[in-house]
Amino acid sequence: MEAIQNFLESTGFAVIANEPLDLVMLAISCVLLYLAIVKKFEPLLLLPIAFGMLLTNLPGAGMYHADYFAGGVINWEELGTGHGGLLDYLYLGVKLGIYPCLIFIGVGAGTDFAPLIANPKTLLLGAAAQLGIFVTYIGANLLGFTPAESGSIGIIGGADGPTAIYTTATLAPHLLGPIAVAAYSYMALVPVIQPPIMKLLTTKEERRIKMKQLRPVSKTEKILFPIMVTIFVSFMLPSAAPLVGCLMLGNLMRESGVVERLNKTVQNELMNIVTIFLGISVGATATAKNFLNLQTLAILAMGVVAFGMGSAGGVLLAKLMNVFSKEKVNPLIGSAGVSAVPMAARVSQVVGQKEDPSNFLLMHAMGPNVAGVIGSAVAAGVLLALFG
């Protein structure tokens, strides 16, 4: 009878009485699953994140133990004696910074930097779109977050999932859940967030600017580019080396043309495997205690501000460039500088074609778009150097 008693007390129904907020978290994870599956919000990451959040909040399941990672210290004793759950072990890849780097190898292998090489001044747009990161940093500071936390919140404005997770796992791991959810949700919402800002800040004439066709880029340039960027950026900012180096390793695999089978694997199977592990273990950090508080609401609010400010920064710098340069830039491509590849570039294309159906901005917007990836990695490097 005692056994039955113990058994009943171990059910989730008994545990939930002490942890009623877990039910709220389960509801939130179901909402996120809905967004991922029905609304198709970045499902490749949001579905694993949401399911990880669901698993971590199942009372008594013990698939993730927040206390094994409390205070940023990994409790190897518990993990090493086999007391960890699946998500504890998978989370090590996040905590040790392995997954975001591996994903960046795949991202690099999937990225064509030719539009950027053909029109390098679009790098300025990719720089300006990082404005959101730093404006949000100020806001978070003012709301009372620590500098390290503020940096992690700001990086949402980088519109780049792996960068945000890499930075947050180092600077403020307790905020991983809300920051990852915000980053991927807002990336999915780029087609909703950006167009009003783009229209507000541009005139009809600006939106109709046609840009001259991009020059072809030679294979040699495409091969030299990743090597050059790795060396130069890492010299300027060593803390950006892991992200930029991995991005460019993947890109070199792509452009070199001599390691096609590796290129294919990093873009597909390796990336898929790591994406699942990353998603479910990042989701697992979203326990009720870490997620259900005013901070999360503040982070979600600041995240959307970061996205908006970044988009605005890109558009405004494009307008500024047009003041000084005879070769005009359509400012609609500025908003693509937030990264969110390739969705933000597609938004530039769509908004541009609404004014003039004969205007094809997509390739031009890919320049700032991929520049934004480099830009946020650099911004992450600054934050890591200062607070890491």
Partner 1 sequence: MKLLAAASAAPGFLQVVAMGLITVFVVLICLIILIKIMGALMAGSAKSTAPQPVPQPAPAPVPAVPQPNKQQLVAAISAAIAEDMGSGVNHIKIHSIRKL
Using CB under 5 A as the criterion, which residues of the chain lie in contact with Na ion when the complex forms?
Answer: 158-160, 339, 372, 376
Nearer Cβ to Na ion (119/281): 119
Nearest residue to 99 via CA among 149, 52, 162, 29? 162
**Positions in 339-368 near partner 1 (CB under 8 A):** none
Q: Is 98 in the site for its own copies (CB under 8 A)?
A: yes
Contact 347, 195 (CB under 8 A): yes
User: CA angle at residue 353 from 352 to 355, to 5 degrees?
Assistant: 75
Query: How far are the Cα atoms of 21, 59, 145, 172, 298 from residue 18, in angstroms, in the given order?
Result: 9, 10, 29, 27, 27
160 three-state secondary structure? coil
Task: State yes or no: residue 21 binds its own copies (CB under 8 A).
Answer: no
In the range 62-81, which residues lie near its own copies by CB under 8 A? 62-63, 72-74, 76, 80-81
| Binding status of residue 191 toward partner 1 by CB under 8 A | no
The secondary structure of 193-239 as a DSSP string is: HHHHHHHHHS-HHHHTPPPPPPPP--HHHHHHHHHHHHHHHHHH-GG
- Binding status of residue 49 toward its own copies by CB under 8 A: no
Nearer to its own copies, 149 or 206 (CB): 149
Give, as one character, the DSSP assignment of residue 388: -
CB of 298 to its own copies, least distance (A): 26
**134 contacts partner 1 (rule: CB under 8 A):** yes
In the block, tokens 């390098």 appear at: 120
The item of its own copies, partner 1, Na ion, none sharing an interface with residue 145, based on CB under 5 to 8 Å by kind, is partner 1
Q: Which of 10, 213, 268, 272 binds partner 1 (CB under 8 A)?
A: 213
Q: State how far the Cα of 140 lies from the Cα of 86, in Å rounded to an integer.
A: 33
- Residue closer to partner 1 by CB (options 45, 302) is 302
How many residues belong to the site for partner 1 (CB under 8 A)? Answer: 60
Binding partner selected for residue 132 from Na ion, its own copies, partner 1, none, CB under the kind-specific 5 to 8 Å limit:
none
Site for partner 1 in 227-256 (CB under 8 A): 228-229, 232-233, 236-237
Whole-angstrom distance, CA of residue 45 vs CA of residue 386: 29
The piece of 12-20, 135-143, 262-270, 338-346 that touches partner 1 (CB under 8 A) is 135-143
Closest distance of CB 320 from its own copies, Å: 26
Question: How far is Cα 335 from Cα 368, in angstroms, rounded to an integer?
Answer: 8
Residue 84 or residue 178: which is nearer to its own copies going by CB? Answer: 84
Binders of partner 1 among residues 26 to 65 (CB under 8 A) are none
Regarding 285 and contact with partner 1 (CB under 8 A), the answer is no
Task: Rank residues 37 and 192 by Cβ distance to its own copies and give the closer one.
Answer: 37
278/49 Cα distance (integer angstroms): 8
Longest dimension (CA), the chain: 86
Q: Which of residues 358-377 bind its own copies (CB under 8 A)?
A: none
Residue 4, Cβ density class (10 Å: 0-12 exposed, 13-18 middle, ≥19 buried) = exposed
Given the structure tokens 């004014």, which residue do they identify? 355
The verdict on 73 binding partner 1 (CB under 8 A) reads: no
Residue 82 binding its own copies, by CB under 8 A? yes
DSSP state of 264: H
Cβ at position 316, least distance to Na ion in Å: 16
Which of these ranges, 145-153, 177-185, 200-208, 274-282, lies near its own copies under the rule CB under 8 A? 274-282
Among 66, 105, 129, 175, binds its own copies (CB under 8 A): 105
Range 325-344, binding partner 1 (CB under 8 A): 325-327
Of the residues 261, 324, 357, 358, which one makes contact with partner 1 according to CB under 8 A: 324
What letter does residue 39 receive in the DSSP assignment?
S
Report the residue number, 11 or 272, with the smaller CB distance to partner 1. Answer: 11
* Cα torsion 277, 280, 283, 288: sign: negative
- Beta carbons of 148 and 174 less than 8 angstroms apart: no
* Sole binder of its own copies in the list 61, 214, 292, 300 (CB under 8 A): 61
Q: Does 120 bind partner 1 (CB under 8 A)?
A: yes
Find out whether 78 and 268 touch, Cβ atoms under 8 Å. Answer: no
